[in-house]
Amino acid sequence: MKIKSTYCSVTIILIFVVFSYASRIPMSNSEALRNSEVIIVKGKVIGIDKDVVRIAKYVFSVSEVIKPKNVELSQEIRIIDKHYASTAMIELEKNMNVVVYLTKSEDGYISHREINIDTSIGVYEFKGLKLFLELMSIQQINKQTISCVNALKNSKSSFEKKAVLDAMWETRNLQYVSALLNIAKSKEDDRYVRSWAITILAYLEDSSAVKELIPLLKDQSSDVKRQVLVALGIHKIKEAVPKIEFLLTENISEELRQIAQETLKKIKTIDR
């Protein structure tokens, strides 16, 4: 069955412009990797100027260029955030260490994501970013596959596991099935990591592996159950029908109920 996917230190001046009703989704590591125009830099906020009406300027000293390694930056560049003063505004403070995802614009650079590496969460997130880029830089496919499996096994934090799963999604192949099933069935990993592993399984051509997810329809996490339903629908696992019908008799959210009904419809549809 064919499965289709739907889914040198430099000083910088950052200028953030107001769009009051704006919102944004931070750029993912996969998006940053695929977009050759994205520059990821690490550095420190060394000055703040908020004298200009509705504009905050941050003087940012870059200590490392994470991606790409061969980029040359001017000593001072302008970074424009279109979400300043909105609910998605960026709040940077003097002496804060940050990783910033940038793209070039007519006026300078636009910031698409920031990681505050002064926090423990930010440190883990940054480690995840570097791990993802390291795995994706491996050219030999078999070596990359083995490296991904080993990295998933050795990862300690959810951020690191998420990063490895990002790499597995980008390089998906059947050799990942066993490792992905272990994460999906894990009682120790959080629901986001488990759901991501299930999503990747859904887009691998291994229906027997997806059948092993059926017991997870009883999982406590709605996120896990949702992604299991999606996987069962994609692979049209008929053995799951009784379990899905039972799930529909339980007290579940309207969203989950709708997905369960859609999954039943897909499974019962005969391929023409």
Tell me what the mean pLDDT of segment 152-169 comes to.
96
Phi, psi (degrees; rounded to nearest 5) at 36: -65, -15
Q: What is the DSSP string of 211-254?
A: HTTGGGGG-S-HHHHHHHHHHHHHHT-GGGHHHHHHHTTS---H
Distance CA 94, CA 47 (A): 6
- pTM value? 0.84
Residue 47: its pLDDT value, please? 77
**Residue 266 corresponds to which tokens in the numbers above?**
């897909």
- When pLDDT is cut at 50, 70 and 90, the band that residue 6 belongs to is very low
Residue 272 has a CB neighbour count (10 Å cut-off) of 3
- Angle in degrees, CA 260, 265, 267, rounded to 5: 95
**pLDDT tens for residues 181-222?**
999 999 999 999 999 999 999 999 999 999 999 999 999 999
Residue % of the chain over a pLDDT of 90: 66
Tell me what the mean pLDDT of segment 33-56 comes to.
79
**Residue 27 corresponds to which tokens in the numbers above?**
């750029």
Residue 65 has a CB neighbour count (10 Å cut-off) of 18
